Amino acid sequence: MRRSFYSWLMTQRNPVAANEVQTFANGAFYDQQFPKQSDDFDEISRHLEENASYLHSVTIFDEAWDEYLASEN
């Protein structure tokens, strides 16, 4: 069983966010409704589209998701 996307995303946090994925991770940390146990693209994407004002573009999530999948191989 692979780790959740949120668990991976938290490894990308950086208080001086140097890139968009790090900024996304910083915002997700404060998102109390984030599906923290999920590894399902559609569930997380739906949550972000409906609730994540801190995510400026869905393409940032797509980039982070690609990095997440690559880290699992």
pLDDT of 12-70, one tens digit each?
A: 999 887 899 999 999 999 999 999 999 999 999 999 999 999 998 999 999 999 999 99
- Whole-number pLDDT of residue 32: 96
CA 65, chain centre distance (Å): 7
- Whole-number pLDDT of residue 72: 84
Residue in 17, 2, 54, 11 with CA at minimum distance from that of residue 32: 54
- Whole-number pLDDT of residue 15: 86
Residue 68 C-beta-side C-alpha neighbours within 13 Å: 25
